[in-house]
Amino acid sequence: MYSVLIVDDEFLARKLLQDYVKKIPELELAGTAQNAFEAYSFCKEHHVDILLLDIHMPDLNGIELARTLKDVPAVIFTTAYSEYALESYEVAAVDYLLKPIALPRFMQAIERAIAKLKGMETAAPSDSSNPSNLSNSSNISNSSNISNSSTPSNSSNPSNPSTPSFLLVKADYKLYKINFDDLIYIEGQHEYVSFYTKTKRITALYSLKSLEEQLPRDKFIRVHKSYIVSINHISEIEQLSVTVADKKIPIGGSYRENLLERLG
């Protein structure tokens, strides 16, 4: 068994990595830390094999922590920022994962960490681990949630139609205001969702189910287990898909009847 310490100042990010660690029999969760100072103290008092380390943290960032540890375990950086990739390899990181982190990519990084711990020669890096060709490109506006809540703030007031309707989405250490009129559709991606607006894509740790319950029913509808769309942006409905702002989105069998009913 290989002991793992998770270091991230975001609750949902820690929770996701804990769930991933539990899925791999070779791993044992040694603990979690909310910042670099907690992690430093933990590593001094406990044995850690694999360090899952966020980079962008207050006061002392993850790369600075990795440099201060005397007995550096196998370090896997987890971050929303691609610009740290080259610097991370200067501290002999095993891998560099960009949020949102998919389970298969996480497992690949763990395999490399275990190989290092066993004294094996590290396998040749794949394209997804190459800092110049990261799997999550810079067009993703963000991917980390700074809130301990699983749902974004909803500033609309159903009892007062004149109140501006928008979501406040916490992601990438920022608060994004997304007007309902600008929101075209939402796509679920594992534990993350992506908000597609007229001008950008914002990815964050949220639950598609909770969004479905919170968004106003007269403006949005779920058409698939992985998609919620803006009713106002629907232009075409086919047997198996709906077109929203020139994007074809699949219609799930259990959602079609409700969609047609809502549209009259």
Residue 86 has pLDDT above 80, yes or no: no
Question: What pLDDT score does 90 carry?
Answer: 66
pLDDT band at 202; cut points 50, 70, 90: confident
Residue 142 in any domain: the answer is no
Say whether both 220 and 118 belong to one domain. no
Residue 165, domain extent:
153-262
Q: Among 41-55, 114-128, 132-146, 198-212, which stretch is predicted with the lowest mean pLDDT? A: 132-146
Do 158 and 235 fall into the same domain? Answer: yes
Average pLDDT, the chain: 79
pLDDT, position 158? 45
Residues 6+ positions from 143 with CB-CB distance below 8 Å? 80, 98, 99, 100, 136, 171, 172, 192, 203, 204
Helix and strand numbers (H, E) in the chain are 7, 16
Say which range, 120-124, 156-160, 161-165, has the weakest mean pLDDT.
120-124
Whether the per-residue pLDDT at 77 is higher than 50: the answer is yes
pLDDT of 166 reads 86
In this prediction, residue 68 carries a pLDDT of 84
List, in sequence order, the alpha helices (H) in the chain.
11-22, 36-45, 62-68, 85-89, 103-117, 208-214, 256-262
Would the pLDDT of 49 be above 70?
Answer: yes
- Predicted TM-score of the model (pTM): 0.51
In a domain, 138, yes or no: no
Report the domain count for the chain.
Answer: 2
Same domain, yes or no: 157 and 220: yes
Give yes or no: residues 126 and 164 share one domain: no
Same domain, 102 and 202: no
Q: Are residues 96 and 24 in the same domain?
A: yes
Read off the pLDDT of each residue in 50-56 and give the average, rounded to a whole number: 91
| Bridge partners for 76 per DSSP | 52, 95
Indicate if the pLDDT at residue 156 is higher than 60: no
User: Rounded to whole angstroms, how far apart are CA atoms 33 and 111?
Assistant: 23
pLDDT beyond 70 at 185: yes
Average pLDDT in the 125-135 region?
Answer: 42
